[in-house]
Amino acid sequence: MNTLFTRLRFLVAAALLFLTAQRLSFAGSATWDHNPSSGDWNTAANWTPQTVPNAITDIATFDASTVTNVLVDFGSNINVDSVVFDSGAPAYTITLDVSNLKLNGAGFVNNSGSLQSVVIPEESDLAGAMFFYNSATAGSVTNVSTVGGLLTFYNSSSAGSATFDLTSGSLQGTLDFWDESTAGDATINASANSVISFFDSSTGGNATLNLSTAAFVSFAGSNNAEHMIGTCIGGNQVFPSQIDFEGFSSAGEGTFTTIGGSASGEQGSFILFDNTATADNATFVINGGMGAGLTGTFLYFIDTTTAAAANITANGGVDGSDGGVISFEDKSKGGTCSITLSGNAELDISMHNARG
């Protein structure tokens, strides 16, 4: 009996040791092989040492390789400190197949000079996500594209100088900034009902923002657009492209341009200030329609918002199309802003009910 018990205890201990060894073999910093057997991130044999980077202190390194299309499998949840592209790395494409990639340390570090890409596709009404924590950055010479995926920055993380291309399928392409994160020096291109949101004390940094076909941006906290350059182009047949400043948000010293409709039935884009938001020292160019019979664009101040010391220009439409419109409503204030009108552009105070 004792002998049987001892044998069983040995077998259980051996099994636990085996399972522990297996678990350890699948976590740790590693470098992608020069000749991997496949493009599967989750295959330990594709890495040296043979371990899959998947812990918040792990570093996944990519150098020269014959396989540069890397797939993070369906349903995976990868946690790493950073993804590093060494000087010898060619252009890689990392695809998140309805999976999550979380960066907790340095984020993306590109020492290669090659364009590195992350793709987040939509599949059967599902899509993956990428999260940046702590001071992680999207780095430089990095392109992130998503159809219906989610990109989120937390803490003091940064979009770096990466390029983001957002569009929507059956799901909305979404980019969120929380806490004290920043859009940095990124270029953000959003279309097809994609949504970009700034919450808490997040900032626009020096980012370049390009919106088209009913994309939407919201500053909805005590955040500041800082020196962002934003262009808002038309919309679709149902919705305009739109930038909202809400809560205690500020347009900072940003530069924002709205472009009118360029096709029949297309909505003109607009910028809205709501709640107690301020235009601060920003510059706005509000344009008219792009051709006869087409819709112009709008800049609205409502509630108790203020144009502050902004520099605002509204231009007339092309070939008799609607001009740009600046509207002050409710108890909004003009502050010490500068307003310039040309052509058939309008300043509308018909809905204003208090001195500005």
d(CA 334, CA 355): 9
Q: Domain map of the chain by residue range? A: 2-348
Residue 239, classified by CB atoms within 10 Å of its CB into exposed (0-12), middle (13-18) or buried (19+), is middle
| Cα separation values, 340 from 147, 284, 330, Å | 39, 10, 22
Q: Cβ of 219: how many Cβ atoms within 10 Å?
A: 30
DSSP-derived secondary structure for 142-196: EEEEEES-EEEE-TT-B-TT-EEEEE-SSS--EEEE-TT-B-TT-EEEE-TT-EE
The residues, ordered by sequence, that sit 6+ positions from 203 with a Cβ below 8 Å of its Cβ are: 177, 180, 181, 182, 183, 223, 224, 225, 226, 252
Please give the full DSSP string across 63-94, using - where no structure is assigned: -S-S--EEEE-TT-EEEEEEEEE-TT----EE
Give the per-residue pLDDT at 226.
99
pLDDT in tens, the chain (356 residues): 333 322 332 233 333 333 333 333 456 999 999 999 999 999 999 999 999 999 999 999 999 999 999 999 999 999 999 999 999 999 999 999 999 999 999 999 999 999 999 999 998 789 999 999 999 999 997 899 999 999 999 999 999 999 999 998 888 999 999 999 999 999 999 999 999 999 999 999 999 999 998 999 999 999 999 999 999 998 777 888 999 999 999 999 999 999 998 888 888 899 999 999 999 999 999 999 999 989 999 999 999 999 999 999 999 999 989 999 999 999 999 999 999 999 999 999 999 986 54
How many whole angstroms separate alpha carbon 141 and alpha carbon 100?
A: 21
222 residue type, one letter: S
Q: 292, 264 in Cβ contact below 8 A?
A: no
Cα(309)–Cα(282) distance, integer angstroms: 8
CB contact at 8 A, 42 and 30: no
For residue 7, what is the enclosing H or E element? Answer: helix 2-25
Query: For position 19, what pLDDT does the model report?
Result: 34
Q: Is 319 exposed, middle or buried (0-12, 13-18, 19+ CB in 10 A)?
A: exposed
Bridge-based pairing state of the strands 325-328 and 346-348: parallel
Residue 254 neighbours by CB under 8 Å, 6+ apart: 204, 225, 226, 227, 228, 229, 230, 282, 283
